Amino acid sequence: MKAITVFFCFISIILYGQIEKNFIDLSEYPNKHILSSLINETSAVEYYKNYLYTCNDSGGKAEVYKLNSSNGNVLQTIKIKGIKNVDWEELARKGDTLYIGDFGNNLGIRKDLTIYSIKLPSDYSQIIEVPILEKFRFIFEDQKEFSNQGSYQTNFDCEAFIYYKNKLHLFTKRWSDFQTTHYELDLKSSKIPIIAKKIETFDTECLITGSDIHKDTLYLIGYTKETAYVWKFYDFFENKFFNGKAQQSLIGLTGAVGQTEGIAVTDNYIYITGEEMNYSLFHVDPTLYILNKEELN
């Protein structure tokens, strides 16, 4: 792994110059835990009352899994009544209300983009079934074309959102240019579907796959075929996250840390989940990484 570390230091100097950057190699990080095969395609992670919550993406069951935040062990399976997992890609939270983003859209053709909400149960049963509270269908304000342009070409894929100041904020996974566009969704809108309003775009240099916000600091996580990143945005104003300060952290080679798809932030820790990855000569198990928050400050 020393060669990997040297490689990172080298590209940091060559590519980044004087721009403020951060680096930590998750593949060498001591506090990491292999996750159950039950959540091998973990696509999100959310923190609440000392527990983590995750879900699988397309092909997975309509279930959310409650995890031990110290080791990632599955403690509870929460079955959601009456809905399907078309492509669940992200979780967000307001209090004990959990929002589930069924908006994975690799082909850019979906007209059924949906966000569900549930109440997180206080019951400690290993398996529990809950109903949805609300269902929000939406479309992106600037998407006019829905024909199949081929896999991984669209700018209207989405795998990240947060709840912030009474609205949901979505961050797209733009395949064409590795940027992300921030859209705002007003849950009180009477329109069906709700129009996701385009706010701003930022060059993240990677495919954004997860997000969280903690104490007015936004975190985005993503990767390329080569490397994985965490972005931090702060000192912003008027809900425009990209008009303040930004910091990019390189967190490892994708072939070593996997597809990092979920991030949850607390006062002391940053939780990152990566789904199982089999790519060319590389295999990475589904993994939970637990970082001391100061590592990315």
Strand order across the beta sheet in which 32-34 lies: 32-34, 287-292, 269-275, 259-265
Q: What is the pLDDT of residue 7?
A: 47
Taking the C-alpha atoms of residue 172 and residue 159, their distance in angstroms, rounded to an integer, is: 7
Angle at 51 between CA 48 and CA 54, to 5 degrees: 90
Phi/psi at 191 (5° precision)? -75, 145
Residue range(s) defining the domain that contains residue 95:
2-296
pLDDT at residue 6, as a whole number: 41
Q: Quick one: which of 112, 163, 166, 158 has its CA closest to 135?
A: 112
Q: For the chain, what is the domain count?
A: 1
Query: Burial code of 233-249, b = ≥16 C-beta within 10 A, e = fewer?
Result: beebeeeebbeeebbbb
pTM of this structure: 0.93
The CA distance from 67 to 65, in Å, is: 6
Paired tokens of 77:
């399976």
Selection from 92, 261, 267 nearest residue 163 by Cα: 92
In the beta sheet, which residues pair with residue 264? 271
User: Domain holding 218: CATH number?
Assistant: 2.120.10
How would you write the pLDDT of the chain (297 residues) with one tens digit per residue?
A: 444 444 444 444 334 434 478 999 999 999 999 999 999 999 999 999 999 999 999 989 999 999 999 999 999 999 999 999 999 999 999 999 999 999 999 999 999 999 999 999 999 999 999 999 999 999 999 999 999 989 999 999 999 999 999 999 999 999 999 999 999 999 999 999 999 999 999 999 999 999 999 999 999 999 999 999 999 999 999 899 999 999 999 999 999 999 999 999 999 999 999 999 987 778 999 999 999 999 887
Q: What is the dihedral of CA 32, 38, 43, 49, to 10 degrees?
A: -70
